[in-house]
Amino acid sequence: MKTLGFAAGIAATFTILSTSTALAVTEISWWHAMTGANNEVVETLSKEFNESQSDYKVTPVFKGTYPETLNAGIAAFRASQAPHIIQVFDVGTGVMMGAEGVVKPVADVLSMGSTQFDKSQYLPGIVAYYSKPDGTMLSFPYNSSSPILYYNKDSFEKAGLDAENPPKTWPEVFEAAKKIKASGASACGLTSTWLTWIGLENFSAWNNLQYGTQENGLASVDVELTFNSDPFVRHFQNFADLAKDDTFRYGGRTSEAKQLFLSGECAIMTESSGGL
């Protein structure tokens, strides 16, 4: 990710790791946005690494949500107090790619440490997303999230839907949401966190569509957005139409909609696997 870091679960390195005086332990600060069980993993990994040797000490620091962590990193860099490693979600990829002088590609950091990065250990799509067009890794694949559909089985049963056979396509999701709303099984049928990521980026990937030129902006900043075309307009029009009678309820740009599902107000929610 960056020398600040890079991408929804991918960590990078903000600046070159700084070293203290000779023979002293090198302190490495690691800012992240992991909560719950994911935070426990971060703490465990740091503890195991620190106990495995005596030259370096990694200190993980939770900095809030993904956007809050990114903003904190930017502010810290401007104040010349940047962390050594920071985790940045995929929405911040463009910010990091354009932050010349702020970011040191993880490939360069590994090279400085005479370490080889074996891309074959990761899914090709993950490696490609966080690499330059020439294949140079910009950020280190740390964690990568996928959209998951959650649904309330009780609401499905009340609406006369098969609770053991949830919808598998967007049209099926929209139809199920309509039936739930019409039956009164829940106040709203559908909500979604991270709607741009789930409804645009992942929708594009699954349907082999590009929402921007220059490889969706990864190949160059000279990019033209192309999502104002039929597949995308039709897809988001479906959400707009469902919102007219509250069949779909918009909860916010990031993870705010999760509470609409957890409270039982909405029976279906698309959410990041990172929210488990």
Residue of 274, 192, 180 lying closest to 235 (CA atoms) = 192
From-to residues of CATH 3.40.190.10 in the chain: 10-141, 147-275
Residue 143 has pLDDT above 50, yes or no: yes
Residue 14 has pLDDT above 50, yes or no: no
Residue of 168, 150, 158 lying closest to 266 (CA atoms) = 150
Which tokens belong to 76?
């810290």
C-alpha–C-alpha distance, residues 55 and 25, integer Å? 5
pLDDT digits (tens, 9 = 90+) for 97-112: 777 778 788 888 888 8
Rounded to 5 degrees, φ, ψ at 98 are -90, 0
Residue of 168, 159, 158, 193 lying closest to 269 (CA atoms) = 193
Of residues 9 and 162, the one with the higher pLDDT is 162
Confidence of residue 132 (pLDDT cuts 50, 70, 90): confident
pLDDT of residue 23: 59
C-alpha–C-alpha distance, residues 32 and 35, integer Å? 9
Per CATH, which fold does 10-141 belong to? D-Maltodextrin-Binding Protein; domain 2 (3.40.190)
CATH number of the 147-275 domain: 3.40.190.10
Q: What is the DSSP letter of 25?
A: P
Which tokens belong to 85?
């490693």
C-alpha–C-alpha distance, residues 251 and 213, integer Å? 30
